[in-house]
Amino acid sequence: MANDRVTIWTLDWVPDGPRGFVRDIRLRWACEEAGIPYRIATVSFDGRETNHLDRQPFGQVPMLEDGAIRLFESGAGLIHLGGKSDILMPADERGRAETIQWIFAGLNSLEMVTMPWVVLQWSKEDVPTISGWLDNRLAQMESVLADREWLVADRFTLADLVIADVLRVDLVRKHGDRPASEAYVARITSRPAFRKAYADQMTHFEEADETRKEDDNG
Amino acid sequence: MANDRVTIWTLDWVPDGPRGFVRDIRLRWACEEAGIPYRIATVSFDGRETNHLDRQPFGQVPMLEDGAIRLFESGAGLIHLGGKSDILMPADERGRAETIQWIFAGLNSLEMVTMPWVVLQWSKEDVPTISGWLDNRLAQMESVLADREWLVADRFTLADLVIADVLRVDLVRKHGDRPASEAYVARITSRPAFRKAYADQMTHFEEADETRKEDDNG
């Protein structure tokens, strides 16, 4: 029954650049890890700044829908999915709290630095204040990853999903020599659930290419 | 009994600039709202980049300690405190999920833009890519706040605590004309629990001035 599934909202199409990195992948990946059934729904790429502000005040994706619950922010969606399966998030208080801690570490301490830096790289701007901040944070994360295989509970959790997803961005991955981080990203993104989520996102946008081509020809 | 209290870790001293904005205030404020007993503990400002990496891999504060649970990341600390009191976070699944959603909106979508912009302002760098991003996000948040008094459950929650704490930064508050955001920040920060937390943080650092003076004289 369709109602048993969660719905992950993403864009109907994006250009080549962001493919494989649109954040619906975080929710797809979590569902694949835990075997949570889901379906994909879309909002239009054209007009995305304003066409779904009633559901997402910043005009971004993804959104997650689960019965009466509608959430934006991938971090919030992940914690919601984590509550459905201890494959994603340990059920004990400490394991749960530490998983949430690393989700915030990824999305606030780490991505707060990587994302502005990446945006500035795209626009070919060199801003030493930001790149110095990046180097510092990536070095700190390298130290953490040099010491352990998993971030929480000696096994894969949403903590690894988020940290690996932030670190796997091409420009970040190629920046500097950080062997522990590179090995970690390679290992976490070789998980079948990530590969499935990634392939499905690529297919989703490739299929949209066909539709757009037909529209152009029509 | 001391064991009944949570412990909020902050720095022993900071210069004037960050006073009133060190992130332990988020945890102090939440405890004050909910009547959760807490004590303050400190790590040294001098050497902060490396003196507590075993507890906080980025050398930041705050940390939260509650029995066997030790957390860094203010967002994770807030969700942990929210689990102790529905004054902070509604106990129903939807209210809880929406509160968490806005905590992430504050710390990822919003603070990811305000913080790099503020850091660049400090170093007197004008980076149009970042300031354009800021203007866009603040305008989006202004639209949200024009429509409602509270973000979740028609009452104060951690959602308001986080969004107001991100928006109340002086440089952000003075940037542009955003009457709904300004009224919101003024209203939320006039709450007795915020004023108590703010006054206590100021006193904490002022007392440390005395100690440092004595050290200099000794």
What is the tens place of the pLDDT at every residue in B175-206?
999 999 999 999 999 999 999 999 999 999 99
DSSP B159-184: HHHHHHHHHTSHHHHTSS--HHHHHH
CB atoms within 10 A of CB B65: 18
- Residue A213: the pLDDT is 78
Return the minimum-mean-pLDDT range out of A81-95, A202-216, B50-64, B138-152: A202-216
- Residue A1: the pLDDT is 44
Residue B179: is the preceding peptide bond cis (ω within 30°)? no
In Å, what is the CA distance from B66 to each residue of A151, B27, B77?
Answer: 20, 12, 10
- Residue B1: the pLDDT is 44
DSSP chain A: -GGGSEEEEEES---TTTTTTSTHHHHHHHHHHHT--EEEEEE-STTTTTTTTTT-TTS---EEEETTEEEESHHHHHHHHHTT-TTTS-SSHHHHHHHHHHHHIIIIIIHHHHHHHHHHHHTT---HHHHHHHHHHHHHHHHHHHH-S-SBTTB--HHHHHHHHHHTSHHHHTSS--HHHHHHHHHHTTSHHHHHHHHHHHHHHHHHHHHHHHHHH-
Angle at B21 between CA B20 and CA B26, to 5 degrees: 100
- Residue B211: the pLDDT is 83
- Check whether A67 has a pLDDT greater than 50: yes
- B212 pLDDT tier (thresholds 50, 70, 90): confident
CA distance B41 to A105: 22
CA distance A117 to A129: 10
Cβ distance A57 to B144 less than 8 Å, yes or no, reads yes
DSSP B22-84: STHHHHHHHHHHHT--EEEEEE-STTTTTTTTTT-TTS-S-EEEETTEEEESHHHHHHHHHTT
- A206 pLDDT tier (thresholds 50, 70, 90): very high
- Check whether B215 has a pLDDT greater than 90: no
Residues of B in contact with A109 (CB under 8 A): 58, 60, 73
Q: Residues A3-56: pLDDT tens digits?
A: 579 999 999 999 999 999 999 999 999 999 999 999 999 999 999 999 999 999
Q: What is the mean pLDDT of residues B48-56?
A: 94
Tell me the nearest-neighbour CA distance from B69 into chain A, angstroms.
6
- Residue B210: the pLDDT is 87
- B164 pLDDT tier (thresholds 50, 70, 90): very high
Instruction: Yes or no: say if B43 and B9 are a contact pair by the CB < 8 Å rule.
Output: yes
CA distance B186 to B194: 11
Average pLDDT over chain A, rounded to an integer: 95
Amino acid at A153: A
Give kind and range of the element (H or E) at residue B10: strand B6-11
Paired sense of beta strands B6-11 and A69-72, if any: unpaired
Nearest CA in chain A to B114: A112
Residues of A in contact with B108 (CB under 8 A): 73, 75, 107-108, 111-112
User: Complex ipTM, two decimals?
Assistant: 0.96
Q: Residues A126-144: pLDDT tens digits?
A: 899 999 999 999 999 999 9
Nearest to A101 by CA among B103, B50, B167, B165: B103
- Residue B4: the pLDDT is 79
Average pLDDT over chain B, rounded to an integer: 95
Amino acid at A123: S
CB pairs under 8 A between A and B: 125
- Check whether A218 has a pLDDT greater than 70: no
Name every residue in A having a CB less than 8 A away from some CB of B: 53, 57-60, 68-69, 71-76, 79-80, 93-94, 97-98, 100-101, 103-105, 107-109, 111-113, 115-116, 119-120, 123, 125, 127, 129-130, 133, 137, 140-141, 143-144
- Check whether A113 has a pLDDT greater than 80: yes
